[in-house]
Homo-oligomer: A and B are copies of this chain.
Amino acid sequence: MKAVCLLSGGMDSSTLAYVAKSKGYEILALHLNYGQRTENKERACAKKIAGLLEAREFLELDVGYFTRFGASSLTDKTIAVEEFDPARAHVPNTYVPFRNANLLSIATSFAEAKGADAIFIGVQSLDYSGYPDCRPAFIEAFQNVINLGTKDSTKITLYTPFISMTKTDILREGQKLGVPYEYTWSCYRNEGKACGTCGSCHFRMEAFAAIGKKDPIEYED
């Protein structure tokens, strides 16, 4: 059994790869560089995690075309990453239009070409983001697209084990599986010390606080 695991180098996708491995899959790690600010740090983390899991492949692809559309603070350096705001009603400006469909399309091409049985993606619909391409209905619709858009002999199941879990649940799961969180990166802004104030840092810090453990990475003062 082989599974394509989307491995960004963040907490969620790293935990996800440990989950896939624990279910008996050989890992085909797929790391996508789409021009985000903290790519170098994320790649280093993803490679380290893939190595620890003895991944069968580590494929890094440049999908830098996202930077050509603009319209997201993650990929357009002229737009500031907005601060976390618990009262926020709008989709945050870190939203990259239709990103997960792009990631899943690439993962499906890779999986079909390599004869993999599964794709694991670490999307969450709960306490996170308001991104439309993280909702369960989107994932179900995408499974249907996989079934119809690949050869009839191809059978690929899309797994989203974290879709109904909170970041804290995921961290608890990762602690059980022995995920080395010192080799994961979450901050949207920095590659040295994490900023501690962007949405991604906010949820990471909250999760470590909730389980009463110290986050092994460093933060700015």
Q: Are B135 and A66 interface neighbours, CB within 8 A?
A: no
Docked-complex contact B69 and A98, CB < 8 angstroms: no
Whether A208 sits at the interface, judged by CB under 8 Å, is no
Segment among A102-110, A158-166, A191-199 that sits at the interface with chain B: A102-110
Task: Contacts A132-B148, A133-B149 given; indicate if A105 touches B98 (C-beta within 8 A).
Answer: yes
Query: How many identical subunits does the complex contain?
Result: 2
Question: At the interface, yes or no: A80 with Cβ under 8 Å from chain B?
Answer: no
B97 touches A113 (CB 8 A): yes
Main secondary structure of the interface of A (DSSP, over half): helix
Q: Is A87 in contact with chain B by the CB < 8 A criterion? A: no
Interface residues on A, range: 35 or more
Residues of B within 8 A of A99 (CB): 109
Give chain B nearest CB distance to A194 CB in angstroms.
Answer: 28
Is there an interface contact between B138 and A141, defined as CB atoms closer than 8 Å? no
CB atoms of B135 and A112 under 8 A apart:
no
Known A70-B113, A102-B102, A106-B102; contact A97-B145, beta-carbon cutoff 8 A: no
List the B residue with the shortest CB-CB distance to A62. B65
Within 8 A of B (CB), among A78-133: 91, 95-102, 104-106, 108-110, 112-114, 132-133
Minimal beta-carbon separation of A4 from chain B (angstroms): 11
- CA A135 to CA B71, docked complex, whole Å: 32
